Amino acid sequence: MIDLRSDTVTKPDEEMREAARTAEVGDAVYDEDPTVNELERRAADIVDMEAALYVPSGTMGNQIAARVHTERGQEVLADRKSHVVTYELGGFAQHAALQVRMLDAGPRGVPTPEQVAAGYIEEDLHRAGTGLLCLENTHNARGGLAIEPAAIADAAAAAHERDVPVHLDGARLFNAATALDVPGTDLTEPVDSVMFCLSKGLGAPVGSMLAGSAEFIDAARRTRKLFGGGLRQAGLIAAPGLCALENVDDLETDHENARRLADGLAAIDGFDVKAPETNIVLVDVSETGREPEAVLERLRERDVVATQFGPTTVRFCTHRNVDREDVDLALDRIAETFG
């Protein structure tokens, strides 16, 4: 099976398994797990923020951030295709009593300063008031786009001018940094908090990091407990997370494989392929005359799996458990099926 559904399907390697086996642990809710403490210190350093918090998932990291940054009943501004709006079960309403004001942030999914200004609501007797701007990098649903530091900085500045904090959903932050050939800190410097995942392209089995000011992380730690994310001897899963932080440089291989896959797919009749910027390849299959489900079904028969992403789109995602040979084999099978 060549699994191109997501970079979340990666399995921990031997080094990670060994790190888990030998990890020093303690009760992380009492801040007594040395491995978790080290992971949190390293993560904060990597994004140059005062502090970081280990959370079970990217979703929980985003949800905690929204809850801590805002007051009940405020609005959050976010692109209509962002993960927080589309794929987190309306969590902002459920966990933070927020109303989402969706922007159509255009093909790159990052709002311009003018869009932030237009979406901003000043609180008064009748209006809720904007409490948060959420950005995403890479932008998953828009095709794994690597959003440039200047675009992040401009959007964040427009929010900050209005005293609105900015949270970055950086589930694939290091894919963006790798593609743009900039340090991750260039992408996090303009924002107040960032979540990045260890469990996607970096290959850890579990967990994401939420980083921000020391005060923000203190509050986030309480909210994590409230959300049921206070883990005890979490060093067992944090240790592979520390290994994952060493894998940032490997992401370029995933991007090369994505470009190779995209080039091969583009040669197949009816496949309209969006050129990938990172490890995500979106293919509009409408010209094949088949629904995405039917395309995926035929691929599955050949032991190649991908995911549906919208009414006419199939998403392929490269990751550390598929290599160049797997990509070529997948392309051969896809071409035999649809060529």
Q: Which residues bind ligand PLP (CB under 6 A)?
A: 57-59, 62, 83, 136, 140, 169, 171, 197, 199, 208
Nearer to ligand PLP, 62 or 278 (CB): 62
Nearer to ligand PLP, 141 or 299 (CB): 141
- CB proximity list for 71: less than 8 A, separation 6 or greater: 131
Reading phi first (left if > 0) and then psi (alpha if -120 to 50, else beta), residue 163 is in left
| Least Å from the CB of residue 60 to ligand PLP | 7
Nearer to ligand PLP, 11 or 127 (CB): 11
CA distance 169 to 276: 19
CB nearest ligand PLP: which residue? 58
| Least Å from the CB of residue 200 to ligand PLP | 7
Nearer to ligand PLP, 120 or 309 (CB): 309
CA distance 26 to 255: 38
| Least Å from the CB of residue 325 to ligand PLP | 26
| Least Å from the CB of residue 269 to ligand PLP | 30
Bridge partners (DSSP) of residue 77 are: 101, 133
**Residue recorded with tokens 């894919």:** 175
Nearer to ligand PLP, 6 or 233 (CB): 6
Closest CA to 96 of 71, 118, 77, 121: 71
Under DSSP, the state recorded for 273 is E
Angle at the Cα of 110 from the Cα atoms of 108 and 113, rounded to 5 degrees: 130
| Least Å from the CB of residue 64 to ligand PLP | 12
Sign of the torsion formed by the C-alpha atoms of 90, 193, 54 and 240: positive
| Least Å from the CB of residue 307 to ligand PLP | 11
Sign of the torsion formed by the C-alpha atoms of 321, 326, 331 and 334: negative
Nearer to ligand PLP, 58 or 212 (CB): 58
